[in-house]
Structure 1
Amino acid sequence: MTDPAQAEFADVTEDMFLGGQLLLRQPRRGHRAGHDAILLAAATPARAGHRVVEFGAGVGTAGLAVARRVTGLDLVLVEIDDGLAALARANAEANGIEAKVTVLDVTASADVFAASELGPDSADIVLMNPPFNDAERHRASPDPARQSAHVAAADTLETWTHAARRVLKSGGVLTLIWRADGLAQVLAALERGFGSIGILPVHPNPQGAAIRVIVSAVKGGRAPMALHPGLVLQDPEGGGGAEAAAVLGGKAVLLLAREPGSR
């Protein structure tokens, strides 16, 4: 029988993440996993027994990276593309990680989510790396899969955040990564139902302005917003910054979000 992942993506690569702790197969062309997914995973709090749901999981990079760090999770990888979902399923199996892979549009109705066993108040943690490039400022790729993975619609952030709020339990944690110049959009999307917000800017080098923000928020949280010291990806000599290298190598986490259940 033909592997669906192979049928959809005849040309795949095998790539190592977390310093060799995680081996992933992914399409050679189209959306490919990179630093963003690993940083998102490192900023996602979890402990054994938590139900962790990744929206827009692709080949499963961020969710599987969390599960590599924390054993005993109830991990659900949500992906709209059948071929990528098949690769995510194969990647989980190849790495010995238990995960349910669900083919689902994050913008679907509550009834559709519930039919996929993602009903309201069912998750401890949601993590997501939504398409975040501005369609008016970003030259879209001719590859439809790559375009959908990178270019945001006007309501992408709002609809994804709404879905996360619905799925999360009270006190559950949302972590997301977004472009830094869109921070105001993130905060606006979190105004309804979220609090205890933590923000971590990600800088390309010590002199550069932030290019990403990693944001955590608690459903029903009441603590003041916290702006954390920035993470620098490269040192002044152009090499990997020590903290970033440790995080990307799976040797350190980003202490950003509160433990699920705290306010």
Structure 2
Amino acid sequence: MEWKPPACWYEPYWKAKDFKTYVEAQWSIYQSVGGAPAGIADSKARYTGGHPYKDFNADKNDDGMWWVATENPEMKDDPASRACTLPPFWVNNGENPGVPQAIDTKTLAGLAYQRTTVPGTKISTAPAGKSTVNLPTWIWLDKATFKTVSVTASLPGTGLWATTTAKPVSLHIDPGTGDAQTSPASGECTINADGSIGEPYTKGKANETPPCGVTYLRSSNGGSYALKATLTWQITWKGSGGTGGDLPNGTFATTTDVPVQEIQSVNR
């Protein structure tokens, strides 16, 4: 997919009392091994001394959450994954975190988009072996070959979620040579009402024009033409709170080698 996900973000992670338990345990470990690292005094002042928090906001345990910086696990080698450097901060329920890169449904949609995998583009053609000059090659995709794909990303305990949906919408045909005519002329085969693309070839249709196909006008001279079929997937998303929108389309191509022969006729 042609989209770059966020390398890091801030997300709600700790209830107040859980955060207090975790951090105080870390401080105890430091003391047991011979002293606290530099900066721990500032940390204690920040979370317990009123600069700006007192006792980890434990008295507000059900009124909000501590937000933390999170690296995108699939982008840990990207230096940008370390750009979220704010220490844990408190956000009351229903309040906007007020910081760039705070996670929201659109970010979750992007993460779901990043994990969306669609089936490979595998076309059917007839004739399946050699094609013949001036006779159409039929191309189709059966509806059972590719289906709508959905992926959901959510943040447990927050009510935040987003689902991306990838839907196949068209197949573009590139014959691999200028000596050919596509059907339709644009080379863009749209999806049928039943979810298929094109129409399977059946006996007796050799001279008919297929709804999706190509007619080669010149022999490949013992070689073959690289028939490229590119399937476009339309990507949309919806999320909690009535959010939603569009994401960049995905395009996936496959190439099929098509030998084209020329049948010689003899006039008597």
Give the TM-score range, shorter chain: under 0.3
Q: TM-score, normalised by structure 1?
A: 0.22
Larger Rg: 2
Q: Which has the higher strand share?
A: 2
More helix per residue:
1
